[in-house]
Structures are given as C-alpha cells and as structure tokens.
Amino acid sequence: MAEPLLTVGGLVKRFGGIVATDHLDLAVDEGEVHALIGPNGAGKTTLIAQLSGFLRPDAGHIVFDGHDITRLAAPARVHRGLARSFQITSVLREFSALDNVALAVQARQGHSFRFWAPARADRSLRDPAMQALDSVGLAARADHAAADLSHGERRQLEVAMALASEPRLLLLDEPMAGMGAEESARMVALLRSLKGRRTLLLVEHDMDAVFALADRITVLVYGRAIATGTPEEIRANAEVRQAYLGEATTPEAG
C-alpha cells in the first residue's frame, strides 16, 4: 500500500495556556479530497497554518512526500509542492486577474517579483497563468482588475493562484466563506473537477459541500482528531455524534 502523501504525527501547538493542536495525528493519501471539520476553536486553521509553514509547531512532525518538512519555511514548502488558499482572499486587488496569477507563477519559478515590469509580458509566465485561469473558469475575466471581480470570482482567482504553483497538495481554508448559494455551487463544481488530479485538504463550514466532495473526513475537537473516515462512517460515528453532531442527522461546522 502506498505511503500517504502527507503524514502528521504528534503535532502540538500552544498559545499560552490554550492547546490549539493537541498531539494530532493525520494522514492524507495522494489523490484524495480530505476534509477537516469541527466547531469554532477546534484548531482547523491553526493546523493549516502549521502545514503550510506559517506557524511552527511546538512538538511533533510533518512529513510530506517522504521528507520531514516540520522546520521548512513556507516558500520552501511551496517549492516542494504545497500550496495554500486562505480564509480571507489574499489577491492584489489593483492587479488584473492575469497579473495576479502570473506573479504566482513567477514566485513558483523562484524569481523576484518584478512589479514594474508586468509579469504578463513574459510568455513563460503568461501562458501557464492563462491555463490556471481557464481551469477555474476565469479566462474571460483575465484582464479585469481583481477589485472588479465578485467575491466568488476572487475566491476562484485565489485557487488559480494556488494551482499556478503546480502543487501536489492544495490546502484550502474555507474556500466558500462568504459565498451565496450560486457561487458556492460553482466552487464545488471547480473543486470536483480537481478530484483525482490534485490532492486536496479542505477546511470548510459548508457541510453540503464537504459531503459532496470529500473522500475522507477528519473531525477535530479541541485540537484533537476524534475520528477519521468516509462521509458515511463519520455520519454513523457515535463519538462524533456525541462530541460534535449531537443528535443531528447531518453535521454542522462551527
């Protein structure tokens, strides 16, 4: 059996007296969509920040593609094939959609940002940037400033920027946050189109989206993983129902 693409062992992160990540173990298989759910304060975003290199754990290890990356800086993780989207969009609003993605391609190639010489002028940046925009359905909006895009389109743009780094594992932190029903449906369709082509670790409050997309789900409560399984197994898990779902028939994330 193949080794997981990502393995987390005994991970601990404290903020003063608060244990945000409590000796957490997690494995993500290559090619799967793995969702993290849990109430507010469960430690989901803190975990994503540690995986992406924005926070350093106090204990434990993170192994990606057979290499221990626990102490690697965030840019080095990008070069190894990890990319992250954020809860709050992080696009450059005054730049066009194409320029945003071209700069992401430029960063992946290890060049400094040349803000005064538009990245779009370089075909080695422009062509993969257009491919990434097309993959998320934004090719027709390439020349529009990010500030002029809808909230949902900016989230799509952020996914395009993450994809431009050619990740093996894409960390998605609430990609549907703040979206209406129509925009959420488009994002679900986009993420479904990536299934089997990219490995996704998804933090999301929209449980309809989670159960539509996830191959496996891990439930976090107070920084601990209390269960991991298929959507059907999570629905039926007695500990999950008691600690998190209550008597509801479908989970709600906090």
**CA end-to-end distance (rounded Å), the chain:** 35
On the question of pLDDT at 253 being above 50, the answer is: no
Whether the predicted pLDDT of 65 surpasses 90: yes
pLDDT in tens, 16-59: 999 999 999 999 999 999 999 998 889 999 999 999 999 999 99
| CA gyration radius, the chain | 18
Strand order through the sheet with 224-229: 82-85, 169-173, 199-203, 33-37, 216-221, 224-229
pLDDT digits (tens, 9 = 90+) for 217-241: 999 999 999 999 999 999 899 888 7
> pLDDT tens digit string along 102-149?
888 877 766 555 544 555 677 888 888 999 999 888 999 999 999 999
Residue 17 is predicted with a pLDDT of 92
